[in-house]
């Protein structure tokens, strides 16, 4: 919430060196380390309480950053909207190294086709017939999730709070709400499964099984096996199906991580225990991961982009808390160590691997 | 000289906070060299000199950001005529971060 910190380690991931803060005093809700092109680049979406949001880049793995110029992610003048915050920066497909996407508040999707130099709003969402009825959640009306079909350039999916999940089958020209089976707990009982308006918090998938999606909802944990056409409840053995963060295992399409939170009216880890939950059977069951994490007096919250994985064979899993603690696991979540304990509130944790590791 | 503004001379000065000097080659003080009757005119002229600085002061709707204050000769324009506030010949416009935020 007060800047970006870069933590570096070698392949062992035992010792970490903290650099920063970059962008002192500015909130950083989105980061991306992209290695598709001929040079790695890192993006940071920074937001000054006074001077507004901007997008910055680094060509040296986060050591130094570009000064912001004129705002490149901006709404058209006739839209009547102004950029509040960039919530997500996502790379395009592996075969499109110059393509990037931004999900922003108020809910909209921007696309760059020139490596992030210029950005255009997605008109299909900007002018969607549902748009006037999308309502802000606790974090604002934000488009926070962008999921691409790695093989089919015409298919992509986004999620927003609130609004829910929308999918395009025509390269982003048109979008259909895909929320069948996802509940909206905050609606009157007979209207809890609307076509849209759900407060979806995060959606993930594995590129090897792109049609199978996992969804952490504002109340509700779901899986879809058909690109979001139908959703089924997979809250099997979790202490709460409320939560924000959700992370796919980098190699195993059946393994997903979440951090359950007690309730929307009490946003803290249930029973004051800091537990990551992992499924290894695509949501058939979930097991708590507690080794190395405080199991008493831990009233923590882990926000939607504060849970991440690296790409090593034995995957590293990392998460940051609203109270400024950063934890890491080198064994896919089985055991954890505290990497930092007094950072500002953490809203975004992302990983990147450089060739020198 | 007009009563409601300056006479087109190079006499309107905009004082920027340190946070915006990265957009102006570290120059905290810009003199506007085109006619400006109002604060809106002055900001438009500032934008032609430094589009990045203007983007930090105003959003793309043309609204001054919520936690930014503009002063003309020491008076906060929020309590005058906003962007329509007249800028007299020789005026200095201060751009400041509001006490809120951080």
Q: How many CB atoms lie within 10 A of CB A190?
A: 6
* pLDDT tops 90 at residue A69: no
Q: Rounded to whole angstroms, how far apart are CA atoms A321 and A299?
A: 10
pLDDT number for residue B94: 97
pLDDT tens track for B62-76: 999 999 999 999 999
Whether the per-residue pLDDT at A171 is higher than 80: the answer is: yes
Q: pTM for the whole thing?
A: 0.94
Higher pLDDT, A77 or A320: A320
- CB–CB contact A70 B51 (8 Å): yes
ipTM, 2 decimals? Answer: 0.89
Give the nearest partner residue to B61 out of A49, A70, A80, using CB atoms.
A80
On chain B, the residues whose CB falls within 8 A of the CB of A50 are 19, 65, 67-68, 97-98, 101-102
Residues of A in contact with B61 (CB under 8 A): 75, 77, 80-82
Q: CB distance from A138 to chain B under 8 Å?
A: no
In tens, the pLDDT along A269-327 reads: 999 999 999 999 999 999 999 999 999 999 999 999 999 999 999 999 999 999 999 99
Mean residue pLDDT of chain A comes to 96
| Percent of chain A whose pLDDT exceeds 90 | 95
Contacts of A51 in chain B (CB under 8 A): 19-20, 56-57, 65, 68, 97
Least confident of A110-119, A170-179, B2-11: B2-11
Two tokens at A276?
Answer: 């990551």
pLDDT at B2: 42
Residue carrying structure tokens 């936690």: B67
Asked if the C-beta of B55 comes within 8 angstroms of chain A's C-beta atoms, the answer is yes
Contact B102 A74 (CB under 8 A): no
| Distance between CA atoms of residues A154 and A250, nearest Å | 24
d(C-alpha A133, C-alpha A162), whole Å: 9
Output A37 or A134, whichever has higher pLDDT: A134
DSSP string, chain B: --TTS--SSS-EEEE--GGGGGGTTT-SEEEE-S--SBHHHHHHHHHHH-HHHHHHHB-TTSPBPTTEEEEETTEEGGGTTGGG-B--TT-EEEEEE-SS--
Choose from B61, B69, B97, B100 for mutation: most chain A CBs within 10 A: B61
- Percent of chain A with pLDDT strictly greater than 70: 99
For A187-223, what is each residue's pLDDT tens digit?
Answer: 999 999 999 999 999 999 999 999 999 999 999 999 9
């Amino acid at each position: 919430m007060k800047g970006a910190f870069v933590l570096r380690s070698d392949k062992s991931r035992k010792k970490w060196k903290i650099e920063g803060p970059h962008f002192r005093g500015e909130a950083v809700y989105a980061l991306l380390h992209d290695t598709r092109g001929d040079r790695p680049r890192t993006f940071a979406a920074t937001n000054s309480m006074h001077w507004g949001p901007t997008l910055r880049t680094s060509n040296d793995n986060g050591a130094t950053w570009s000064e912001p110029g004129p705002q490149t992610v901006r709404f058209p003048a006739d839209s009547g909207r102004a950029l509040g915050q960039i919530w997500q920066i996502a790379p395009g497909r592996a075969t499109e190294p110059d393509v990037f996407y931004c999900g922003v508040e108020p809910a909209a999707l921007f696309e760059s086709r020139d490596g992030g130099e210029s950005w255009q709003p997605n008109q299909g969402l900007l002018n969607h017939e549902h748009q006037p009825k999308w309502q802000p959640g606790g974090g604002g009306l934000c488009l926070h999730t962008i999921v691409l079909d790695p093989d089919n350039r015409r298919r992509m999916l986004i999620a927003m709070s609130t609004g829910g999940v929308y999918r395009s089958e025509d390269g982003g020209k048109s979008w259909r709400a895909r929320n069948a089976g996802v509940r909206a707990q905050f609606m009157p009982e007979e209207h809890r499964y609307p076509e849209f308006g759900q407060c979806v918090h995060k959606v993930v998938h594995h590129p090897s099984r792109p049609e199978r999606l996992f969804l952490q909802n504002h109340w509700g944990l779901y899986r879809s096996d058909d690109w979001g056409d139908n959703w089924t409840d997979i809250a099997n053995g979790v202490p709460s199906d409320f939560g924000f963060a959700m992370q796919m295992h980098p190699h195993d399409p059946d393994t997903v991580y979440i951090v359950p939170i007690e309730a929307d009216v009490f946003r803290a880890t249930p029973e004051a225990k800091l537990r990551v939950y992992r499924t290894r059977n695509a949501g058939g069951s979930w097991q708590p991961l507690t080794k190395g994490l405080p199991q008493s007096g831990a009233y923590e919250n882990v926000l939607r982009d504060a849970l991440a994985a690296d790409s090593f064979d034995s995957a590293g899993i990392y998460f940051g808390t609203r109270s400024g603690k950063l934890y890491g696991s080198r064994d896919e979540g089985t055991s954890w160590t505290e990497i930092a304990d007094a950072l500002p509130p953490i809203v975004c944790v992302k990983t990147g691997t450089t060739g020198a590791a | 000289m007009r009563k409601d503004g300056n006479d087109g001379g190079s006499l309107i000065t905009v004082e920027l906070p340190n946070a915006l000097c990265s957009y102006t080659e570290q120059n905290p003080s810009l003199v506007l060299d085109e006619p400006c009757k109002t604060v809106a005119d002055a900001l438009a002229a500032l934008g032609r000199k430094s589009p990045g600085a203007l983007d930090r002061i105003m959003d793309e709707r043309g609204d001054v950001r919520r936690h930014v204050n503009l002063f003309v000769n020491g008076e906060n324009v929020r309590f005058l005529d906003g962007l329509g506030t007249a800028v007299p010949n020789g005026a200095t416009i201060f751009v400041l971060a509001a006490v809120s935020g951080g």
